[in-house]
A = this chain, B = another copy of it.
Amino acid sequence: MSVKPPVEIIPETFSYVFSPYREPIAHVAQGQRVIIHCEDAFESRILSTGDLPSRSLADAKFLNPQTGPIYIEGAEPGDVLAVSIEEIEPTRDFAVSCLIPFFGGLTSTSLTRTLQPPLAEKVWVWRLAQGRLVNDELGLSLPWQPFMGTLAVAPDLEAITALSPGPFGGNMDVPDVCPGNTIYLPVWNQGALFYTGDTHARQGQGELCGVALEITSKVTVVFSVLKGRQISWPRIESGDRIMTVGSARPMEDAARIAYAELVGWLVGDYGWHPADAYQLLTQAGGLYVGNMVDTTYSLVASIEKAYLGRSRANT
């Protein structure tokens, strides 16, 4: 869509909150191809198997540095921001994962408290080689399937830690936030105030230990602004599916949000009766866990476009 030369955004400092209180680091136009440089979730403090989190992260007051906010021209409160993700290019030749004390899906945490000691720390380094991720210690090679763990707009009045997912997007850790897909977010501030970071070379559903294959990267996106639309939670569109993301605890609340929003999408844009949308999603909907480790859990509900009939155009 864009014929202008791409704009490249290289941050000098990072944000650890999705905040309406920070000055934009860049202004971009709709339709403009934008290349955004991102740090990894640990701000490159963990680079080898010896960089145990309790030491390497000891001086890190905050984690998950975000590039932003980016001001999108023409975005106003009440609009919808569409983010078309074109490409994620790694900027180093390896990814890291690790076990962090009291963080992850199979350990007690600061929110699910017990009196037990933490699991032992460990760091894994995976090489990027010929389009795959290779861990020699494990003898494993996995496909390169990158996505942005974090992608957000600034909330309304609030400034929320970059570790949180929410209605504003944020740290959803949802693998469908990937090249080829378009993400829709509500807009609460002039210019939308977009943030992204926490790129992952790949991740399983749930992000079980809490740390995916973390990379530094350049992500290429194109923004557009939808006027006269109203959404409450993030939406994702791929070639053949539409998806909604709900983030909440307990996990069933995230599931309910995701599916209720998907019912609303079918009703609002495709003319379905709510009960019939409920029936279709019962028989053909998808529902997977994006993350089971963050401040709230993110679940993704989806349906194939082929089943939806006449659609209201999204752009």
Contact = CB atoms under 8 A, between A and B. Distances in A.
A105 B126 CA distance: 38
A206 interface: yes
A255 B204 CA distance: 13
A71 interface: no
Q: How many copies of this chain does the complex contain?
A: 4
Nearest to A251: B251
B107 A275 contact: no
Contacts of A276: 138
Interface residues of A, number: 80
6 contacts: A62-B157, A115-B263, A116-B117, A122-B279, A207-B282, A213-B283
A311 interface: no
A100 to B, nearest CB: 12
Interface of A: 16-17, 19, 21, 62, 97, 99, 104-108, 111-120, 122, 124, 126, 133, 138-140, 142, 157-161, 202-213, 248-253, 255-257, 259-260, 263, 274-276, 278-289, 292, 297, 299, 301, 307, 309
A263 B281 CA distance: 31
Given A99-B275, A250-B250, A260 B204 contact: no
B111 A114 contact: no
Interface centre among A142, A161, A212, A255 (most CB of B within 10 A): A255
Nearest to A290: B287
Given A157-B161, A206-B282, 18 more contacts: A106-B113, A106-B114, A107-B116, A108-B108, A122-B275, A133-B283, A142-B283, A142-B284, A202-B284, A205-B288, A206-B259, A206-B285, A209-B279, A209-B281, A250-B250, A251-B251, A255-B292, A289-B299
